[in-house]
């Protein structure tokens, strides 16, 4: 299924190769810098579903911070680099509704009226998906082979929910994880207060919003909080840690891929050794 609000086109169709569709993983800046395990989990989930996954070294930020701050010139320059890096793939997938939404919804508008770039931006937008939506809506994955002992609750990140319609997909996959018990979060669809540059420009408002979100998470009784955007997860993990709740925070891909046995997001590091960079198992490389 194409991104919400965007019609299907031949560009969104699966590869004719018997080896499966060729997918470019858009790692995202935060995953690359703070949580590479999310990238590894995304690769595993897509390879298990029959995809050939590559991580182009030439990829950059999606340009959303510049775009949202009104810097259209830098946003366009960044977007051109992303288009060049990914337009040869059958699909582009990001473990983030925020970045996937930027590419699929805002790139075409960014290049509106530009004969050299608008068509290329539109074609890339049509084949760009958030990870769980890609698994469920495009690849028709109905279950994963993973195990997680414990109760979890799920936060619906704003961009994934409102721009891409990502809501049922992660819950459908979580329902197949052995041992996992999902408790719905009160006001799961309400912003966590991160909002990218919003939390920097309006820190007091952001702190009040995440305070209410943390209270709802505690009320759920779940031992682990999940979401699909690392920015939101870092924001909520920080608040939960400052409050001393003991609630773990993880990206949904880590649980679905059976890779939730390491330190949780925001947990103290066990050693001073740097976490290895997200090198793919085959094809391409990390940023």
**Closest C-alpha among 96, 95, 98 to residue 44:** 95
Place of tokens 């989930």: 45
pLDDT tens column, 42-90:
999 999 999 999 999 999 999 999 999 899 999 999 999 999 999 999 9
**Strand residues in 219-287 grouped as ranges (E):** 224-227, 248-251
Point out the least confidently predicted range of 98-112, 124-138, 154-168, 256-270.
Answer: 256-270
Q: Which domains does the chain have, with CATH numbers?
A: 10-138 (3.40.50), 147-256 (3.40.50)
Question: 197: alpha, beta or left, given left = phi > 0 and alpha = psi -120 to 50?
Answer: alpha
If 0-12 CB within 10 Å is exposed, 13-18 middle and 19+ buried, where does residue 118 land?
middle
**Closest C-alpha among 244, 248, 278 to residue 265:** 248
pLDDT (average), residues 178-182:
98
Q: What is the pTM of this model?
A: 0.86
Helix (H) or strand (E) holding 77: helix 72-86
**Closest C-alpha among 139, 118, 114, 121 to residue 50:** 139
């Amino acid at each position: 299924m194409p991104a919400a609000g965007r019609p299907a086109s031949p560009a969104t169709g699966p590869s004719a190769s018997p080896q499966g569709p060729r997918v470019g993983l858009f790692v995202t800046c935060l995953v690359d810098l703070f949580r590479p395990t999310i990238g590894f989990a995304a690769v595993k989930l897509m390879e298990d579903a029959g995809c050939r996954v590559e991580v182009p070294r030439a990829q950059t930020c999606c340009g959303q911070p510049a775009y949202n701050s009104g810097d259209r010139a830098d946003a366009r320059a960044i977007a051109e680099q992303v288009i060049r890096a990914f337009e040869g793939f059958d699909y582009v997938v990001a473990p983030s509704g925020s970045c996937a939404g930027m590419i699929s919804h805002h790139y075409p508008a960014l290049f509106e009226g530009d004969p050299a770039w608008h068509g290329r931006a539109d074609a890339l937008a049509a084949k760009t998906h958030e990870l769980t939506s890609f698994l469920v809506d495009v690849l028709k994955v109905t279950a994963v082979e993973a195990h997680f002992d414990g109760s979890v609750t799920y936060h619906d990140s704003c961009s994934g929910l409102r721009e891409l319609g990502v809501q049922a997909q992660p819950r459908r996959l979580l329902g197949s994880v052995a041992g996992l018990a999902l408790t719905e979060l009160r006001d799961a669809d309400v912003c966590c207060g991160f909002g990218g540059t919003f939390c920097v420009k309006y820190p007091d408002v952001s702190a009040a919003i995440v305070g209410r979100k943390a209270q709802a998470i505690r009320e759920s009784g779940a031992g682990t909080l999940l979401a699909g955007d690392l920015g939101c997860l870092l924001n909520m993990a920080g608040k939960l840690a400052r409050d001393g709740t003991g609630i773990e925070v993880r990206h949904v891909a880590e649980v679905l891929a059976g890779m939730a046995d390491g330190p949780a997001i925001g947990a103290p590091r066990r050693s001073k050794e740097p976490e290895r960079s997200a090198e793919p198992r085959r094809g391409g490389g990390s940023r």
